[in-house]
Structure 1
Amino acid sequence: MMPSARLANGYSGEWEVYVVTNGTPSQDWPEHDFGRSTPVPTLAERAAALAGLGYEGADGAEWEWQEFHGDATDRVRLLAALDVRPIEDSR
C-alpha cells in the first residue's frame, strides 16, 4: 500500500497535514500543524511540510479534494489527499 498524505482543516479549523501509514493514527502517523485556519497552505508549503516529515509526492500524483458537511448550516470541512513516498525511496 502506498502511503497517502492528507491535508485537512480539522475540528478546530486549523490546517494540518499527516501521512497515513500502516501504523496507528495516534502514535505512528507523521503530522505537521500549519497553525492557522486561513489561507489554505500553498503547494510549496505542503511540499515543505511533507519533506520535513520525510515524504514527497509520488510520481504524477496530484492533490484531490473532498468536501464534508452535515447540513446547510454546518461549517464545511475540507480534506485533500495525495499519494506520497518516503524521500529515500526516490533516490
Structure 2
Amino acid sequence: MTATYTAQMSTRSGGWRLYVALLGDLVSEWPEHDFGPGPAIPTPAERSRALTALGFVFTDGAEWEWEEYSATTGDDTSPVRLLASIRVRSWDGGAS
C-alpha cells in the first residue's frame, strides 16, 4: 500500500509556505517550500511545482481544502488565518 501524507500550506512571516506532514516517520524536519514574501496565495500550478520539487505528487482525486481559524483562539475579533491541505504521496510511490 502506498503511503499518503497531508501537505499543508499556510502563511508565516508575511509569506506562504508549503510543507508535508510526515507524522509517524522518523524525520528531523518535514519537507517544506517557502514561496517568499507577499500576500498573494500561490496558484495551484505553483503549489504543484513546489510539491514535485519536494518529491511528492497529489493522490488521485485529491483537491485542496481550505480552513479558516482565528489568530487568537476563542477571539472572534482577531484576524483570520487560512490553512490549505491536500493528500499527497511520494512521487515514486514509496515512503519518502
TM tier, smaller: 0.7 to 0.9
Q: Does 1:2 align with 2:4?
A: yes
Structure 2 gaps of 5+ residues are none
Correspondence for 1:77: 81
| CA RMSD, Structure 1 to Structure 2 (Å) | 2.0
State the identity as a percent: 44
Structure 1: stretches of 5+ with no match in the other structure: none
> Greater strand percent: which structure?
2
Task: Write 1 or 2 for the structure with the bigger share of helix.
Answer: 1
Aligned counterparts of 1:37 and 1:24: Cα–Cα separation in 2: 33
Q: Which runs of 4+ in 1 moved over 6 A?
A: none
TM-score by length of 2: 0.81
Report the CA distance between 1:13 and its aligned residue: 3.2
Shift, 1:77, TM fit:
1.2
Greater Rg by CA: 2
